Amino acid sequence: MINKNIIGITLAELFIILFFSVLIIYPYSFDSSKIEELKRKISLLESIIHNLNNKILQKDKKINYLKNELKKRDEEINKLNKELSSLKKLPKIILYGTDFRFSEGSADISGFVDKLKKEILPEVNSKISELRKYGINSIEIIGHTDGAIPFSNTSNFDYYLDKVILKQIDISQLHYGSNIDLGFMRAAAIYLFLKDNLTVKDNLHFRILSAGQTSKANGQLIDKIERKSDINRRRIEIRFSRLDIDTVNDMMIEENLQND
């Protein structure tokens, strides 16, 4: 018997394939112009395929480039977020307690000036150097007092405070008339010390502030009146911040123009 399957294809199926192959090839078999036309079409298709492959390759390169750029942006965003977190948690230095004790009603720092030089000065220098990269260029010095009523209500701040800041007269010549004055006077004493002793002070700005007796020893706002002497409430707070001098100057110029 004759095997009707040839490599898995029946004789009938093989006949059909041969028949249609002849139908496809026959029109071109004896016409050279049609063969040339077919070759031209094939060549054109190959050219189109080649161009498409090139475009795909270029797009792949662009996609890879954009992926790399996106990765860089993500890394920059992560870095900025870390810096933002650092700025939200800016360190502060608090001088309080027996180590940095202001006598009641006094802004004299001679009793702890050596400790300021050995401990606080290096720390402030280090913090400023570390925070420069975040644009930190300002030190705020805030004086806090307890609620004890001052012995005198005669103040000469309006006459002499600016002269003390400009070092035209000694701070000992200041007389305070309130706890706000006293807090400011103590902050000014620390400012004068830092101004004279800091090694990292190029383009560094200072702001001297007083909170008077408005906060408790833990830094929270008072919730009751306490007139007693409290060494822990008598303290200095040193904060690091960013002062945009150009913005401040622009605001002042704009205000002057409006007033004119």
Report pLDDT digits (tens) over 216-248: 988 899 999 998 888 888 899 999 988 875 554
CA angle in degrees (0–180, nearest 5) for 233-214-235: 25
Residues 225, 156: contact at Cβ < 8 Å? no
Per the model's pLDDT, the better-predicted residue between 125 and 105 turns out to be: 125
3-state secondary structure of 238: strand
If you average pLDDT over residues 68-75, what whole number do you get? Answer: 89
Find the mean pLDDT for residues 160-189: 93
* Pair of tokens at residue 161: 């405070």
Average pLDDT, the chain: 81
Band of residue 15 on the pLDDT scale cut at 50, 70, 90: low
Between 59-63, 71-75, 130-134, the lowest mean confidence (pLDDT) is in: 130-134
Query: Which tokens is 104 given?
Result: 């009641």
pLDDT score for 48:
82
- Average pLDDT of 44-73? 87
Burial class for 182, CB neighbours closer than 10 Å (0-12, 13-18, 19+): buried
Q: SS3 of 2, please?
A: coil
Angle value at C-alpha 164, between 125 and 244, nearest 5 degrees: 50
Higher pLDDT, 258 or 161: 161
Between CA 42 and CA 37 the distance in angstroms is 9
DSSP H helical ranges for the chain: 11-29, 32-88, 113-115, 121-131, 157-165, 179-197, 245-259
187 band by pLDDT with thresholds 50, 70 and 90: very high
- Residue, of 153 and 138, whose pLDDT is higher: 138
Which of 12-16, 111-115, 154-158, 181-185 is the least confident region?
12-16
